């Protein structure tokens, strides 16, 4: 259990460090992401980004468990 927590922590740090690079290439603003703006409020739900990230994480876990 401790090993997985360390791996997840390191992965979060790496993603945090790469976030500016990922934002520049368009991750987080893909077609299919929902964004509404109103007077004084904004709602953003990155559904396409979530699906792509979920598929990538699932693939990584599948590869590590082989």
Q: What is the DSSP letter of 1?
A: -
pTM, two decimals, is 0.58
Residue of 53, 5, 6 whose CA lies nearest to 33? 53
Please state, rounded to an integer, the average pLDDT across all residues of the chain.
85
* Side-chain half-sphere CA neighbours of 15 within 13 A: 10
Under the banding of pLDDT at 50, 70 and 90, the label for residue 66 is confident
| Maximum distance among all Cα pairs of the chain, rounded to whole angstroms | 51
């Amino acid at each position: 259990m401790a090993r997985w927590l360390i791996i997840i922590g390191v992965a979060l740090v790496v993603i945090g460090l790469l976030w500016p690079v990922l934002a520049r290439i368009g991750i987080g603003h893909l077609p299919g992401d929902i964004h509404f703006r109103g007077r004084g409020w904004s709602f953003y739900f990155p559904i396409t980004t979530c699906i792509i990230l979920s598929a990538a994480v699932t693939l990584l876990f599948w590869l590590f468990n082989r």
